[in-house]
Chain A
């Protein structure tokens, strides 16, 4: 199977700082790859380049055979790459339901909603959007809170709402930036199951940045470790967890044994 995404020699410099250096990655459809590393290692910058927010200084990003380097963010989104943000970005004054609906509208304008949601029976697009939004809210278990103002949701629920908004774009590749931040071990275990289920049931390909090692260990097929912009390890979760350089730079001694 050809890779869905192929990234070669990707580099990003901010002035004198090399935030990402010679980053390489191939993801096959349906894979779930973890991207870990210390705070400031360059993980979010990789996402920013994949989604067109930061232009690469060097290297190439090929998605389904198409070069993304110079495309603006909205075109990349329409090609099928959606993301969540480490610093939650919601319409804080809108309700949960409205937040998902506005995301649905983004793709509805392109008229592909009917095909992807198989909602041809609805004559009006608006009705289709409402139904799709509600369905997504059920998926992420926020249906019961759909009329609450986003700002008032507990932090962990705001994270789930972010995922809902990304799903509303019906992506092929989903980029999750620290989705388990602010969740307790039980909640992050549930989130792991949810992400794994999304991957299987929706045949989604996922790139996941996460500091909760239980999540990474449980669901990633492969893991890439960044430190100061450089890739210091790649391999199965068990391999990278046992890698001395990863323990030194990222895990710390106690965590490796825990």
Chain B
């Protein structure tokens, strides 16, 4: 078990955003979390990465309790978080953005090795290494956001809606990249609105509804569940 979340509760003032959420991720898996807007998906990722503090519950990463650690400490242990909405430094180049992503990596030679690895996954970024990030196309920006997360060679890569705002052809490309990254040995925790595609590439899935886990199981099984099809895949059933 690489990640274990136990009975996590998160409150924002009066809003109970996460209610007794428990979840497990095995090493080597792609696990996806799907759910409507406001279900608490981003809050869950933010709590795991230390940005939001839970009111109760436990988060264990590779045997270590990380529940109340700050974001830098969590990142140093090997969890990368690619946030919603491709946040990046628009006025820095692609290369500079990637170097910022490697701020926790020790030694220039290691940074260079990681950069080569990232460029081999995203050759397009190598071509654009001196372009300002703000002038990249939407698809390229999303690739850069993921690449930046990969620069610290995380053991667990968490992504919040990587397909948002991308043309269909790029959505396919991004999901293909996620699969590739996972095959190379990175465990993936994926929050996605595109439930069709997420359930296709994930091994297991959790459905979050108004802050609580509604159902979980093998992704293929959830994809064929009529209730899930109706509520989350937009299919007209019956």
Contact = CB atoms under 8 A, between A and B. Distances in A.
Interface of A: 37-40, 86, 152-157, 178, 181-189, 211, 213-214, 249-252, 254-255, 258
B112 interface: no
A157 B167 CA distance: 21
Interface stretch (B3-11, B32-40, B96-104, B181-189): B32-40
B170 A182 contact: no
A7 to B, nearest CB: 23
A184 B138 contact: no
B218 to A, nearest CB: 20
A155 B234 contact: no
Interface in B31-68: 34-39, 42
B37 A154 contact: yes
B234 A184 contact: yes
Given A152-B12, A184-B36, A189-B234, 6 more contacts: A38-B170, A154-B38, A156-B37, A186-B232, A214-B234, A258-B196
Interface of B: 12, 34-39, 42, 84-85, 137-139, 161, 164-173, 193-196, 230-235
B195 A182 contact: no
Contact of A182 (B35, B37, B172, B231): B37
Contact of B36 (A181, A187, A250, A252): A187
Contacts of A255: 168-169, 171-172
Contact of B231 (A153, A155, A186, A214): A186
B37 A183 contact: yes
Contacts of A252: 168-169, 171-173
A214 to B, nearest CB: 7
Contacts of A182: 37, 84, 161, 164-165, 193
Contact of A178 (B42, B165, B173): B165
A86, A153, A155, A213 — most chain B CB neighbours (10 Å): A155
28 contacts: A38-B137, A38-B139, A38-B169, A40-B137, A86-B165, A154-B37, A155-B37, A155-B84, A156-B37, A181-B164, A182-B37, A182-B164, A182-B193, A184-B195, A185-B195, A185-B232, A185-B234, A186-B36, A187-B37, A187-B193, A189-B234, A211-B166, A213-B168, A214-B234, A252-B173, A254-B172, A255-B172, A258-B196
A185 B168 contact: no
A157 B193 contact: no
A152 B196 CA distance: 27
Nearest to B160: A155
A258 B36 CA distance: 22
B233 A185 contact: yes
Contacts of A39: 137-139, 165-167, 170
Contacts of A155: 37, 84-85, 161
A186 B193 CA distance: 10
Contact of A186 (B38, B165, B166, B233): B233
B83 to A, nearest CB: 12
A214 B139 CA distance: 20
A252 B168 CA distance: 7
Nearest to B142: A39
A152 to B, nearest CB: 7
Contacts of B234: 184-186, 188-189, 214
B154 to A, nearest CB: 24
Contacts of B137: 38-40
A156 B85 CA distance: 12
A37 B165 contact: no
